[in-house]
Amino acid sequence: MTQDVWEGHDYLARVFDRWVSDAGAAFQAAEIEGVVVGLQRLRPFAPGLVWYEGLRVASEHRRQGVARTMLEAAIDEARAQNLREMRLATRDLPAVRLFESAGFRRIVEVKWWRGLRVEGGEPARMPEATEARKLWPFVASSRGIELYGGVSPDLNGARDLDATELERLARSGLLRVGPGGRALALLREPWGQNIAVSLLAGAGGALREVLMALRFEADADGLSHVTINLPPGHPAEEDLRATGYDFADAENSAYVYALKL
């Protein structure tokens, strides 16, 4: 079913066994006459929030309303569980049409930047959880923060962006801070052999230091590169260019969508 998705690069085959055995999420199949024709997954990932992912319909059964029916069932199920909001990330136009027509609101758009590993420098500092909380006023007032729509666009699950989220990331070792706390990078679990950044705050010298330090960190960890998700038009674009990053994919964006339940 997934062989013809994304030119054979569908991640679903890789995560399939883990998804099937994960009791914390609902991995569902739709059948027509005993044959599986569709898949989807609902994963509660933060209080009141459910992440919707893995929607696939077998190519010979597309445009017959299978995806719409499955999505409606997922929304009903999330409502029945008194969840507050359903969120998801997508890059595909058919999916965008489906989700928008089902009432989902686009909250953030991101594009991919990439910086290759560089030898020789120091990785950025990882703040403690208590320090991370105190960095929130800086993040909340940093230039371009409104482009994130109040979420941290981690494409594995976009949580609300607040002091608690900074604290959570620090506890997981996923926060990097620049000199004087004047720049921050929020990391997420990567999909490949790289460091993945979901949000940048700050600008100028302090941010450039963090951006270089991430490239050094990739090298120190034996990873090939750093990928950074950034909303188009964000002021950090200039700092990314100045520190040797370029578009991994300038044409395509990923979007985070949300539906209030």
Given the rule CB under 6 A, which residues bind ligand COA?
A: 5, 55-57, 62-68, 90, 92-95, 97-98, 101
- What value does the CA radius of gyration of the chain take, rounded to a whole number of Å? 19
The distance of closest approach from Cβ of residue 49 to ligand COA in the complex, given in angstroms and rounded to an integer, is 17
- With respect to ligand COA, which residue has the nearer C-beta, 76 or 122? 76
Query: Which is closer to ligand COA, CB of 105 or CB of 241?
Result: 105
Angle between helices 66-80 and 93-101 (to 10 degrees): 50
Amino acid at 194: N
Q: Where are the beta strands (DSSP E) in the chain?
A: 26-32, 35-46, 49-57, 85-90, 105-116, 151-152, 159-160, 175-177, 183-188, 194-202, 225-230, 246-260
Q: Closer to ligand COA at the Cβ: 77 or 92? A: 92
CB 161, min distance to ligand COA, A: 22
Cβ at position 38, least distance to ligand COA in Å: 7
> Which CB atom, from 33 or from 119, has the smaller least distance to ligand COA?
33
Closest separation in Å from C-beta 39 to ligand COA: 9
| Residue 86 or 207 with smaller CB distance to ligand COA | 86
Q: How far is the CB of 5 from ligand COA (least distance, A)?
A: 5
Instruction: Give the CB-side neighbour count of residue 42, counting CA atoms within 13 A.
Output: 20
Residue 18 or 97: which CB sits closer to ligand COA? 97
Closest to 40 measured CA to CA, from 64, 92, 75, 9: 75
- For residues 194 and 223, the answer to whether their CB atoms sit within 8 Å is yes
Distance CA(24)–CA(239), nearest Å, equals: 40
Dihedrals φ, ψ of 126, to 5°?
-105, 110
CB 130, min distance to ligand COA, A: 37
Complex with ligand COA: residue 62 or 143, whichever CB lies closer: 62
Contact 168, 46 (CB under 8 A): no
Q: Where are the alpha helices (DSSP H) in 38-175?
A: 66-80, 93-101, 129-134, 136-140, 163-171
CB of 120 to ligand COA, least distance (A): 40
